[in-house]
Amino acid sequence: MSARILDGKTISADLRAGVKARVEALLAGGGRRPGLAVVLLGRDPASEVYVRNKRNACAQVGFYSELHGLSEASSQGQLLALIDALNADSRIDGILIQLPLPDRIDTEAVIERILPTKDVDGFHPYNIGRLALRTPSVLRPCTPKGIMTLLAHTGRALEGLDAVVVGESDIVGRPMALELLAARCTITVCHEYTRDLAEKTRSADVLVTAVGRPRFIPGDWVKEGALAIDVGINRTTDGSLVGDLDFASVSRRAAWITPVPGGVGPMTIASLLENTLQAARLQLGEPG
Residues serving a catalytic function are: 54, 98, 121
Strand partners for 229: 208
Q: Is 112 exposed, middle or buried (0-12, 13-18, 19+ CB in 10 A)?
A: middle
197 vs 228: CA distance, rounded Å? 16
Q: Collapsing DSSP states into helix, strand and coil, what is residue 285?
A: coil
Q: Between the CA of residue 60 and those of 16, 24, 191, 229, what are the distances in Å?
A: 8, 12, 38, 27
Q: What's the chain's length in residues?
A: 288
DSSP 209-223: E-S--TT-B-GGGS-
Whether the CB-CB separation of 286 and 34 falls below 8 Å is answered with: no
Q: CA 203 from chain center: how many Å?
A: 25
